[in-house]
Homo-oligomer: A and B are copies of this chain.
């Protein structure tokens, strides 16, 4: 790709609701407009108008757009890499609606709109799950009747693949430059959604999220791992419906359920002010990350680097500290001073004499999608 710069970026909020907002940014220009945006098509068309606007635009003619890169959350077992959109690809994304009811329908709609707005461009799809198709069966199969795998594709797929791929490749590049080993990487993505991946020789071999984006680490509003007995207790004894329980576990749990706040900045602030629920929630959260790191070190019989990324991973020194302190037995020594320094670039936070590396690696999913899309059509 010639240059890895962002020419323009845009975001549409509250599609189909009152007070829809359109954000647009290009160079020094930064706009937010309240426009009536009844559906995704209008939204994308509005963004396009800004992109091609004489004053704030960056594209002279829509024909200059040669590739549109899309993110699709669920590629099931059909997609292990980035592909160009065909009718068959769209049909397969549609077949996966049951596995990702909240994401795939919108993702497909986005592709269709882009096809109509940029009819001459190539449409490329990057799947969030594709990166995990290298996981061995022992990592993705659940211990339930095997007909569910065979007949209904019930298994772990994984999510945040674009981010884990991007940051782990950045880390491997960095380690290689320094002459350090990079065969065994543990990638910790902590954003609104959180997940952790074990990466051996550049390939994902295990991952904390499963068939849906609900389990594993504790997230902003999602519970992460939970004993299934709790679900049946809530249904049988407390009278919730299954749908209500699912909703609780996805939208009212995690840090929000423990503290009343889902944003890590609020929680850290309140913990520092003495809020005991917030303090405890940070420990519950970090302890879970710590245990996943240990389990992946066991799975790989070692580790060369643990890397942290996304909003919390890159910025929360507190969570990193709780997850990594007292891990010397595993070769991990956090340098507390380095851990407390803010930054925007890839950087080590292990103590200089540590056996193993601990890195912060800023993620950039848009860039990864752009790179993969560019690579596919060139």
Q: Give chain A's interface residues, CB within 8 Å of chain B.
A: 98-99, 137-139, 141-146, 148, 152, 154, 156, 206, 209-215, 218, 223-238, 242-243, 246, 248-249, 252-255, 257-258, 277, 280-281, 283-285, 287, 290-299, 301-303, 326-330
Contacts and interface: CB of A to CB of B under 8 A. Distances in A.
A290 B138 CA distance: 12
B257 A145 contact: yes
A291 B299 contact: yes
B248 A230 contact: no
Given A280-B137, A295-B294, A329-B301, A230 B210 contact: yes
Contacts of A277: 146
B287 A139 contact: yes
A228 B214 contact: yes
Nearest to A152: B238
B210 A229 contact: yes
Nearest to A255: B143
A105 to B, nearest CB: 15
A244 B254 CA distance: 27
For chain A, what secondary structure do more than half of its interface residues adopt (helix, strand, loop), or is it mixed? helix
A238 to B, nearest CB: 7
A264 to B, nearest CB: 14
Contacts of A248: 144-145
A192 B285 CA distance: 31
Q: Name the residue among A211, A230, A236, A281 with the largest chain B CB count within 10 angstroms.
A: A230
A215 B228 CA distance: 7
Contacts of A297: 294, 298, 329-330
B298 A154 contact: no
B302 A298 contact: no
Nearest to A298: B294
Contacts of A328: 301
A300 to B, nearest CB: 8
Contact of A258 (B146, B283, B285, B303): B146
Contacts of A218: 143
Given A137-B284, A211-B227, 17 more contacts: A98-B233, A138-B287, A143-B255, A143-B284, A144-B230, A144-B252, A145-B252, A146-B257, A152-B233, A154-B230, A210-B229, A214-B227, A231-B242, A291-B295, A301-B327, A301-B328, A302-B329
Given A211-B229, A215-B229, A229-B215, A290 B299 contact: yes
A270 to B, nearest CB: 14
